[in-house]
């Protein structure tokens, strides 16, 4: 199978990038058509395997496909121009550069956010590279459907994609890889890293914790409504999902009232996007966090008859992640400028911060958080919709996968 991928990749390397992107546009056009049979098949399969609400799956598919549509812009950003993949482009006076894709890209996906695999597979193709994708056990359905849709639109691109599962300790998939990308727990990332031959580009996206910061100016019911969406999407399982929100005192809503408003907003989402089923362990973890909050927290807002949603409010700020599945912790702060110190001990886990407030305060906060290693500050309500230009974990997503060849021209007369 790998030999076939490599042979197809050889053929793909002669395709202009513009043609590849045009084919990918035809693929995403199919996926953005809610009546397309493959899209409907995927929606049904994802609802079945993940248990996520159909409305959430539809939303997630649309957002993922729009991100795929941005790959051309991503190439322009990361490589200077997408045309660097077709030939030498002048990078500076006296320097011409050409970019090559990684060669076979092996991607190990996590099961927490369905359909994200479309982006990595499409990016590999845009970089004229084949892609071997290992879907997660919890979400095996989407990647084969995406590969099939690519093959139906463009057989050569289709032959550059393979989707297969293998055991965690199998090394063969990595032996001829040009680059390996792994999403998963720190332990899974480390386990794959050990199997990858030296010299092969390795990019691991391990454990991350998201949080939100709400400046007093934005402590409103509208912000709470947006934050609830960030919490509800994928039942908070995304690495960008906010576990907690630091809410500044002195705004239109007190932090406690803001927490109550988040609860109301989460309750309102129940109709359209009910939470997925829980494993007994997940239910126990939520139950215990709630029980603890009932006696230890300053306020608890929770769905009355089940564990559908929970907001735990504490007046004293701390960094305490959520058991997930729609449990949001809110903490009061006098000044959002205190947040960087609060989160500093956990800097290695930090990635996305959802922010609501005036832009000048956003920049000051982003400076301080950026120094700690946070890589993305997005508006509250958009945590799950990273820009196509997103530098995942702070690194250029396409730029990290290519290698360059430079021509240095002789000095002029």
Name the residues that contact other proteins, by CB under 8 A. 110-113, 136, 138, 183-185, 205-209, 236-239, 241, 243, 278-289, 291-292, 294-296, 305-307, 318, 320-325, 346, 349
> Least distance from C-beta 297 to other proteins, angstroms?
10
> CB 24 → other proteins: shortest distance, Å?
25
In the DSSP assignment, the letter for residue 169 is: T
In angstroms, what is the minimal distance from the CB of 407 to other proteins? 39
Asked if residue 303 lies in contact with residue 269, where contact means CB atoms within 8 angstroms, the answer is no
- Minimal distance in Å, beta carbon 205 to other proteins? 5
Q: Do 42 and 61 contact (CB within 8 A), yes or no? A: yes
The least distance separating other proteins from the CB of residue 136, rounded to whole angstroms, comes to: 7
- In the complex with other proteins, the residue whose CB is nearer, 149 or 241, is 241
C-alpha dihedral (374, 375, 381, 387), degrees to nearest 10: 180
Strands 350-356 and 327-333: unpaired
Give min distance, CB of 399 to other proteins, in A. 21
Measure the CA–CA gap between 72 and 146, rounded to whole angstroms. 19
Query: Of 240, 212, 211, 242, which Cα lies nearest the Cα of 357?
Result: 212
Q: Are 379 and 355 in contact (CB under 8 A)?
A: yes
- 50 versus 149: smaller Cβ distance to other proteins: 50
CA 46-49-51 angle, to 5 degrees, is: 85
Q: CA dist 71 to 63, 74, 97, 341, 394, Å?
A: 13, 5, 20, 36, 17
Between 163 and 218, CB nearer to other proteins: 163
Residue closer to other proteins by CB (options 284, 407) is 284
- Residue 284 CB, nearest distance to other proteins (Å)? 4
- Unique residue bearing structure tokens 């991100």: 67
Give the strands of the sheet with 95-100, arranged side by side: 89-92, 95-100, 403-408
Instruction: For other proteins, give the closer residue by CB, 21 or 372.
Output: 372
Contact predicate 101/402, CB 8 Å: yes
Nearer to other proteins, 33 or 186 (CB): 186
Min separation Cβ 176 and other proteins, Å: 26
Nearest to other proteins of 115, 219 (CB atom): 115
Burial 358-390 (b: 16+ CB within 10 A, else e): eeebbeebbebbbeeebbbbbbbbbbbbbebeb
CB of 250 to other proteins, least distance (A): 26
C-alpha pair distances (Å), 115 with each of 31, 45, 77, 145, 291: 11, 11, 24, 10, 34
Q: CB of 97: closest distance to other proteins in angstroms?
A: 33
Nearer to other proteins, 16 or 373 (CB): 373
Which lies closer to other proteins via its Cβ, residue 40 or residue 395? 395
Write down the residue that tokens 């990918």 correspond to. 24
> Residue 158 or 323: which CB sits closer to other proteins?
323
Closest CA to 99 of 408, 406, 390: 406
């Amino acid at each position: 199978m790998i030999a076939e991928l490599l042979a197809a990749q050889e053929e793909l390397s002669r395709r202009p990038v513009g043609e590849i992107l045009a084919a990918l546009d035809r693929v995403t056009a199919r996926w953005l058509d809610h009546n397309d049979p493959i899209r409907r098949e995927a929606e049904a399969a994802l609802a079945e395997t993940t248990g996520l609400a159909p409305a959430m799956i539809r939303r997630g598919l649309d957002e993922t496909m729009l991100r795929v549509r941005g790959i051309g812009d991503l190439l322009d950003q990361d490589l200077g121009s997408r045309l660097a993949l077709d030939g030498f482009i002048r990078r500076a006076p006296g320097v011409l550069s050409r970019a090559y894709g990684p060669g076979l890209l092996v991607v190990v996906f996590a099961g927490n956010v369905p359909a994200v695999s479309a982006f990595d597979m499409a990016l590999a193709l845009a970089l004229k590279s084949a892609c071997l994708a290992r879907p997660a056990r919890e979400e095996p359905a989407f990647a084969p459907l995406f590969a099939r849709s690519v093959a139906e639109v463009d057989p050569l691109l289709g032959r550059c994609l393979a989707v297969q599962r293998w055991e965690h300790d199998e090394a063969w998939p990595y032996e001829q890889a040009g680059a390996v990308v792994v999403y998963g727990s720190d332990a899974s990332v480390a386990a794959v890293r050990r199997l990858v031959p030296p010299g092969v580009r390795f990019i691991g996206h391990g454990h991350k914790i998201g949080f939100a910061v709400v400046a007093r100016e934005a402590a409103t019911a509208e912000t709470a409504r947006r934050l609830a969406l960030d919490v509800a999407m994928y039942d908070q399982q995304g690495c960008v999902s906010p576990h907690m929100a630091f809410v500044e005192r002195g705004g239109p809503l007190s932090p406690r009232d803001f927490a109550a408003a988040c609860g109301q907003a989460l309750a309102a989402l129940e109709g359209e996007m009910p939470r997925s089923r829980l494993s007994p362990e997940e239910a126990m973890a939520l139950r215990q966090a709630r029980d603890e909050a009932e006696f230890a927290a300053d306020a608890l807002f929770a769905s009355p008859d089940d564990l559908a949603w929970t907001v735990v409010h504490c007046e004293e700020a701390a960094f305490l992640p959520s058991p997930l599945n729609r449990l949001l912790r809110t903490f009061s702060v006098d000044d959002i400028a205190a947040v960087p110190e609060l989160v500093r001990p956990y800097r290695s886990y930090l990635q996305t911060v959802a922010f609501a407030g005036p832009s000048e305060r956003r920049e000051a906060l982003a400076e301080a958080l950026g120094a700690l290693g946070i890589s993305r500050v997005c508006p509250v309500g958009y945590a799950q919709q990273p820009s196509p230009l997103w530098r995942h974990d702070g690194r250029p997503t396409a730029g990290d996968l290519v290698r360059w060849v430079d021509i240095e021209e002789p000095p002029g007369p």
